[in-house]
Amino acid sequence: MEGNGRYVETPGGRYVDIPVKSGPDTLVVKAGTAFNRSYVINAGSSVSMPANHIIVEEGSLTDICIIIMPGVDADIPITVDLIGEGSDFSLSGIYICGSEERVSLETVVRHRVPGCKSNQHFNGIVSGTARTDFFGRIIVAPDAQKTEAYQVNRNILLSDKAKVNTKPQLEIYADDVKCSHGATIGRLDEEAQFYMRSRGIPLEEAKVLQMLSFISPVLNHIRNSAEREVVAKDIDEAIRKIL
């Protein structure tokens, strides 16, 4: 808590029902519709998240992917309210930091009604003197039975001067749920590198391949294949640069 710059107020033991309010920054995914978009945030470009609050209605399908390229300082808070039964929500992201970036991601996914599914998947590669903070919360309201909520945050730390902090949180007030979160911070597997090198792949290339394969599960969230290929190419270049 201290040293993290942010102090989190906890309501103390009980579920606190914060009313759903929409503001100018709210994105509403209407009942029965699908919303599928990816956002690539490049250094110097002006693309930013259109919304820091998303309301998900009944029976809708949402898939949002955020890609943060090297050289970007970002502070992205996203709150998601699942207010309609049977909706399926996915939020994923990639962050690649190679120099002195500060990236902070904060997600709050509130399951307010029964029978919804949410999935969060964030993978990051951190090098240089960058610092990343991931703070992800899943809150399941007392009556939101049959909820399925998952969250994964994986990080590769490439430099001793870089820092990775991750705080996944589960707050569950219903009982018939399936929820999990996982977080890892680690390095590139040296045995895998040896395997590739013994087959004639140079070390540098082996590392690039490892990182690409680490990123690729998140990339699959970009549904449009043309778009996905463009992003994949950009990421390939970015990874080679930070190595």
Partner 1 sequence: MKDREENNILKGIASQEYKEGFVTEIEQKYIPKGLDEDIIRTISSIRKEPGWLLDFRLDAFSKWKKMKMPRWAHLDLPDIDFQDIIYYAAPKKDSDRPKEIDPKLEETFEKLGIPLRERAALAGVVAVDAVFDSVSVGTTFRKTLEDKGIIFCSFSEAVRDHSDLVRKYLASVVPSGDNFFAALNSAVFGDGSFCYIPKGVKCPMELSSYFRINASGTGQFERTLIVADEGSSLSYMEGCTAPMRDERQLHAAVVEIIVEKDADVKYSTVQNWYPGDSEGRGGILNFVTKRGMCKGAGSHLSWTQVETGSAITWKYPSTILKGDNSSSEFYSVAVTNNYQQADTGTKMIHTGKNTKSRIISKGISAGHSQNSYRGLVMMNAGAEGARNYSQCDSLLIGSQCGAHTFPDIRSANRSAVVEHEATTSKISDEQLFYCNQRGIDPEDAVGLIVNGYAKEVLSKLPMEFAVEAHKLLQVSLEGSVG
Residue placing its CB nearer to partner 1 in the complex, 49 or 183: 183
**Residue nearer to partner 1 on the CB measure, 26 or 159:** 159
Q: What number of CA atoms fall less than 13 Å from residue 161's CA on the CB side?
A: 10
Told to check if 160 binds partner 1 by CB under 8 A, we report yes
Cβ partners under 8 Å of residue 93, min gap 6? 65, 66, 67, 68, 105, 121, 122, 123, 218
239 is a site residue for partner 1 (CB under 8 A):
no
Which position among 173, 208, 232, 236 is part of the footprint of partner 1 (CB under 8 A)? 173
Query: In which region does residue 15 sit, left (phi positive, over 0), alpha (psi from -120 to 50) or beta (all else)?
Result: beta
- Give the Cα separation of 158 and 129 in Å (integer): 10
Q: Which residues of 132-144 are buried (b: 16+ CB within 10 A; e: fewer)?
A: bbbbbbbbbbeeb
Q: Is 163 a binder of partner 1 (CB under 8 A)?
A: yes
Binding to partner 1 by residue 167, rule CB under 8 A?
Answer: yes
Tell which positions 127-156 bind partner 1, by CB under 8 A: 142, 145, 155
Which residues fall within 8 angstroms of residue 108, CB to CB, at 6 or more apart?
77, 78, 79, 80, 136, 137, 139
Residue in 1, 23, 225, 226 binding partner 1, rule: CB under 8 A: 1
Residue of 33, 45, 48, 180 interacting with partner 1 (CB under 8 A): 180
Q: Does residue 169 belong to the site contacting partner 1 (CB under 8 A)?
A: yes
Show the binding pattern over residues 65-104: x = contacts partner 1 (CB under 8 A), - = does not: ----------------------------------------
Q: Is 191 in the site for partner 1 (CB under 8 A)?
A: no
CA atoms within 13 A on the CB side of 99: 8
Compare residues 50 and 186 and give the one whose CB is closer to partner 1.
Answer: 186
Q: How far is the CB of 117 from partner 1 (least distance, A)?
A: 15
Using a 10 angstrom Cβ sphere, with 0-12 exposed, 13-18 middle and 19 or more buried, the burial of residue 208 is middle
Which residues contribute to the site for partner 1 (CB under 8 A)? 1, 7-8, 10, 12-15, 142, 145, 155, 157-160, 162-187
